[in-house]
């Protein structure tokens, strides 16, 4: 079953829990105990709260309530919802996996056959669309059916499957398909080896005339036929693309090849593999004997027999053909008659079809000479002339005589002179009858290979003992022939090399190059042997068996008498999916609801430590084992200690338990309930009030406070109402300038809150006229500007004149002050003074800029002068040494001439 079968045992015995532990702690694969996983999921999803509340701190246990438990309730609810969603998703995924496994149970999972099945029937209908209603069931139909089978087409050169997208070449004689690259390499290797085999000869080799053969049928092809392109079957289209609605490697167009035998018509099928079917055209033709009128028949079967007696005269010219109307020549006459031999001396009963025959008697008739008789065996006609008559020669052929046939020709007496058998010397005897004697002369002769020479009789042949070391045509074995002249014989030893199928050896004589593919075929069948396919030898180990549509007939290996119906398959039957149905050991009569587990594949891993490297390593393997029934998961109702819930628990997990909730019974304070975890209540008056073993109330008073009061009661939890709150509240007044202290109860029960919150001082807020509000500390809007009687100063536009008035009159715009003539005069004078000041500043700015410009130009002129002087100094040539000090040297040299001469001589 490929990888699927190899992976069945993964994770089934992990730890001490075996398959049950693996179903909880590790993800299960396609066939690894779905029955355990489904049972566990169903029980855990239905009884989620109870599973979490089991004692022992397991995966579903609940911790004791701590401080802040009320804040954790929303988180616990979210966790429960998430777990339920996760369990539902796991179930959906599990169902999808089961459906997939059921639909792909018996398909091989090898990576070689990843091609999907094609619509064979519909494609064949289109291929035969123009052929006619009656389809041909010959070799064409067989090739078409094999084109759709995965793994049916195999390249005999590389022994690999030909896929639907591979580039192929088909032989025109045997119609076998090969990879284009394989055929190219095959043809080039064949031609190269033929050239190498003929390389030792001195003859010029015509490489263009060499041919290569088809690997299967040995049909010869020229070098121009070596495929260079990938063509469809009809050769019209280059590199045809794979189309799932067409035959693989087909262009989808009409074939149009000339039919065989050549009738003048072309193939009407779509581009197809294999030979073209017989011609479907209709023609008019007579029967073989021509006795019946012509009939309209298909061109492929235009010759027909009328069934009547042929009646044509046989070759014996005595009888007629008694066979039914038949094609071709009539058979020889089957009757017998008395037939005389050619010499007419003997008569025998012989077949009428062979009237000419010869007896064993010599003719012995006399020639016309009357002296000699005919020595021929039984013949017809005249015996001819006497062979001893006419012109005859002497034995050596040098003289001619015309004598009667009764006289012998005498010898001429001259030397015979005929060439002897040695081919070198001539006969030295006188003219004689009969053969010349053996040559008796001696000469130095070389052996046939030319390696040895010796003086010996000319009639004898010299051969040496040197063995030829040249390779034979196989290029593997040496000649080993003594005194070989270079004509080494063909190698007759068997090849014996192992073929590519690795099953047989080459039976041909020893040869060069690769051996031809194995011609043996192997038949692969399904388990029930109803479906078979034929593959080349060597592919039986890698080719998957054919698909069989019949039902599997193997007996069941579990306790069920019959398995679920499934198709014929290779290997063991799939794991039984029928419900187990065995009674569990819970004692309540429950039946095992999981799938059958009598024969479960388990991966066995040897964990035993080896004593040393000499001990072999035991590889993991798969064993079929019988698993025990899982614990009973049948839901049974049970009640917790505090009788808070009555859930359904798995039958195997039934026991007294605590649900993990709080007790919840009303304590003596009548305000709180018991905070202990679910427990057995003792001495309780009823089902709602607390018992003697419930936890007493130790909290302070938690009764709700009056509206507006945020202070605690301060007393222990009590059943009667709380006392009035006497604590002082610190509040701010309306204007937020002062703080007031009022009792909590008085403040919360007061009706005149507005007056209690006022500090009785003037409001500190400003109104729209920017004066203080006239009201006392209050809430709501302040006084209006119309009620403001403050006195404000009003000025003219130039701010020179002013007067006082009430604020509300100024705010209403009833009091204004306009500028007079004096104000206008002062404004003009100020304007003129400003203009004069602006002109003064402008002139000062221009003068400053002019001074800066002059200063800049002066500095630039100074730099240019220095550069000019430097250039002049560089251009003036520097005076030489004699120009500087020549005069001084000449003047000082005159009184020192004598000294100079003296110094010279002194040196």
In sequence order, what DSSP letters do the residues of 746-781 get, joined into one string? HHHH-S-HHHHT--SSBP--B-TTSSB-SSBS-SS-
pLDDT value of residue 184 = 92
pLDDT of residue 204: 61
Over range 851-856, report the average pLDDT: 89
435: tokens are 């053969």
d(CA 530, CA 523): 12
Residues 177 and 162: their CA atoms lie apart, in Å, by: 8
User: How much of the chain exceeds pLDDT 70, in percent?
Assistant: 81
More confident residue, 626 or 25: 626
Instruction: Give the span between the Cα atoms of 265 and 132, in whole angstroms.
Output: 15
Q: Looking at 153-167, 638-652, 876-890, which range is the least confident one?
A: 876-890
Given pLDDT bands bounded at 50, 70 and 90, which one contains residue 509?
A: confident
Distance CA 582, CA 629 (A): 8
How many degrees, rounded to 5, is the angle at CA 397 between CA 392 and CA 401? 30
648-650 and 635-637 strand pairing: antiparallel
Distances (CA, A) of 578 to 554, 558, 692: 16, 10, 55
Summarize pLDDT for 776-818 with one digit per residue, the tens: 888 888 888 888 888 888 888 787 888 888 888 888 888 888 8
Is the model's pLDDT at 80 over the cut of 80? no
Of 852 and 141, the one with more pLDDT? 852
> Which of the four pLDDT bands, split at 50, 70 and 90, describes residue 889?
low
Residue 296, both tokens: 């309209």
In this prediction, residue 843 carries a pLDDT of: 92
Other CB atoms within a 10 A radius of the CB of residue 114 amount to: 8
Task: Please provide the average confidence, as pLDDT, over all residues in the chain.
Answer: 78
pLDDT tens readout for residues 176-230: 899 999 999 999 888 888 887 776 555 566 777 888 999 888 889 998 889 999 9
| Total residue count of the chain as it appears in this document | 907
3-class SS at 442? strand
pLDDT confidence of residue 421? 86
Residues of the chain with pLDDT > 90, as a percent, come to 4
User: What confidence category does residue 867 fall into, taking pLDDT thresholds of 50, 70 and 90?
Assistant: low
Q: Look at residue 500 and give its three-state secondary structure.
A: coil
Q: CB–CB of 177/198 below 8 Å?
A: no
Rounded Cα gap, residues 97 and 90, in angstroms: 11
Element housing 571 (H / E): none
Residue 623: strand, helix, or coil: strand
Of 121 and 540, which is predicted with more confidence? 540
**pLDDT for residue 562 is more than 80:** yes
pLDDT at 846 over 60: yes
Q: Which two tokens stand for residue 487?
A: 């004509």
Q: Decide if 458 contacts 443 (C-beta within 8 A).
A: yes
106 has a pLDDT exceeding 60: no
């Amino acid at each position: 079953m490929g990888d699927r079968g190899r992976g069945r045992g993964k994770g089934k015995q992990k730890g001490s829990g075996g398959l049950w532990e693996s179903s909880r702690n590790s993800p299960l694969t396609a066939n690894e105990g779905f029955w355990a996983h489904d049972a566990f999921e169903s029980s855990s999803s239905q009884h989620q709260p109870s599973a979490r509340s089991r004692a022992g701190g397991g995966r579903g246990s609940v911790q004791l309530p701590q401080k802040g438990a009320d804040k954790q309730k929303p988180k616990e609810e979210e966790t429960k919802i998430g777990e339920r969603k996760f369990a539902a998703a796991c179930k959906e995924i599990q169902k999808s996996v089961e459906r997939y496994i059921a639909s792909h149970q018996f398909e091989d999972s090898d990576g070689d056959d990843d091609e999907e099945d094609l619509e064979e029937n519909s494609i064949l209908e289109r291929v035969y669309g123009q052929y006619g209603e009656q389809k041909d069931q010959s070799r064409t139909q067989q090739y078409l059916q094999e084109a759709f089978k995965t793994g049916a087409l195999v390249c005999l050169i590389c022994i690999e499957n030909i896929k639907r997208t591979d580039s192929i070449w088909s032989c025109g004689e045997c119609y076998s398909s090969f990879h284009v690259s394989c055929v190219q390499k095959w043809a080039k290797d064949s031609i190269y080896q033929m050239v190498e085999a003929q390389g030792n000869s001195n003859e010029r080799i015509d490489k263009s005339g060499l041919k290569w053969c088809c690997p299967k049928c040995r049909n010869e092809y020229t070098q121009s036929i070596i495929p260079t392109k990938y063509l469809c079957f009809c050769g019209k289209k280059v590199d045809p693309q794979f189309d799932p609605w067409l035959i693989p490697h087909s262009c989808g167009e009409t074939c149009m090849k000339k039919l065989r035998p050549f009738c003048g018509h072309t193939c009407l099928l779509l581009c197809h593999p294999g030979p073209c079917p017989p011609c479907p055209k209709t023609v008019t033709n007579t029967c073989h004997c021509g006795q019946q009128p012509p009939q309209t028949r298909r061109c492929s079967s235009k010759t027909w027999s009328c069934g009547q007696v042929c009646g044509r005269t046989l070759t014996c010219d005595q009888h007629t053909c008694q066979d039914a109307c038949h094609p071709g020549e009539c058979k020889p006459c089957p009757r017998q008659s008395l037939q005389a031999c050619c010499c007419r001396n003997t008569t025998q009963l012989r077949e009428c079809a062979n009237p000419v025959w010869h007896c064993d008697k010599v003719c012995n008739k006399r020639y016309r000479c009357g002296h000699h008789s005919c020595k021929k065996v039984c013949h017809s006609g005249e015996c001819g002339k006497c062979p001893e008559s006419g012109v005859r020669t002497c034995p050596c052929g040098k003289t001619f005589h015309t004598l009667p046939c009764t006289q012998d020709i005498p010898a001429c007496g001259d030397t015979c002179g005929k060439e002897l058998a040695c081919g070198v010397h001539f006969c030295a005897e006188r003219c004689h009858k009969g053969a010349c004697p053996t040559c008796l002369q001696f000469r130095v002769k070389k052996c046939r290979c030319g390696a040895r020479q010796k003086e010996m009789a000319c009639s004898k042949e010299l051969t040496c003992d040197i063995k030829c070391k040249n390779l034979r045509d196989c290029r593997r074995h040496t000649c080993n022939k003594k005194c070989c002249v270079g004509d080494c014989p063909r190698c007759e030893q068997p090849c014996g090399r192992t073929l590519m199928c690795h099953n047989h050896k080459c039976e041909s004589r020893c040869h060069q190059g690769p051996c031809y593919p194995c011609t043996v075929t192997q038949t692969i069948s399904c388990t029930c042997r109803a479906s078979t396919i034929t593959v080349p030898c060597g592919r039986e180990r890698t080719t998957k068996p054919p698909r069989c549509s019949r039902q599997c007939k193997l007996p069941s290996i579990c306790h069920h008498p019959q398995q679920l119906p499934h198709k014929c398959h290779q290997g063991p039957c799939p794991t039984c999916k029928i419900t187990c149905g065995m009674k569990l050991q819970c004692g309540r009569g429950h039946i095992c609801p999981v799938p059958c587990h009598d024969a479960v594949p388990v991966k066995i891993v040897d964990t035993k430590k080896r004593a040393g490297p000499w001990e072999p390593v035991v590889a993991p393997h798969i064993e079929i084992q019988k698993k025990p029934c899982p614990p009973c998961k049948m839901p049974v109702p049970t009640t917790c200690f505090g009788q808070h819930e009555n859930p359904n628990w798995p039958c195997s997990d039934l026991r007294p338990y605590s649900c993990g909730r709080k007790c919840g019974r009303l304590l003596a304070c009548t305000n709180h309930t018991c905070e202990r975890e679910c427990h057995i209540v003792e001495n309780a008056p009823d089902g709602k009030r607390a018992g003697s073993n419930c936890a007493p109330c130790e909290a302070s008073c938690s009764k709700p406070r009056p509206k507006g009061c945020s202070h605690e009661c301060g007393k222990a939890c009590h059943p009667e109402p709380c006392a009035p709150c006497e604590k002082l509240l610190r509040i701010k007044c309306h204007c937020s300038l002062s703080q007031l202290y009022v009792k909590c109860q008085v403040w919360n029960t007061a009706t005149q809150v507005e007056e209690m919150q006022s500090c009785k001082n003037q409001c500190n807020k400003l109104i729209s006229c920017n004066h203080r509000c006239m009201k006392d500390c209050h809430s709501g809007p302040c006084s209006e500007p119309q009620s403001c009687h403050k006195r404000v100063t009003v000025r003219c536009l130039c701010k020179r004149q002013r007067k006082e008035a009430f604020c509300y009159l100024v705010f209403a715009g009833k009091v204004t002050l306009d500028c007079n003539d004096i104000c206008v005069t002062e404004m003009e004078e100020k304007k003129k003074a400003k203009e004069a000041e602006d002109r003064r500043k402008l002139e000062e700015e221009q003068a400053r800029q002019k001074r800066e410009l002059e200063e800049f130009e002066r500095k630039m002129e100074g730099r240019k002068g220095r550069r000019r002087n430097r250039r002049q100094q560089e251009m003036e040539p520097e005076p030489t040494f004699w120009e500087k000090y020549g005069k001084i040297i000449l003047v000082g040299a005159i009184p020192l001439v004598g000294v100079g001469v003296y110094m010279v001589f002194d040196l």
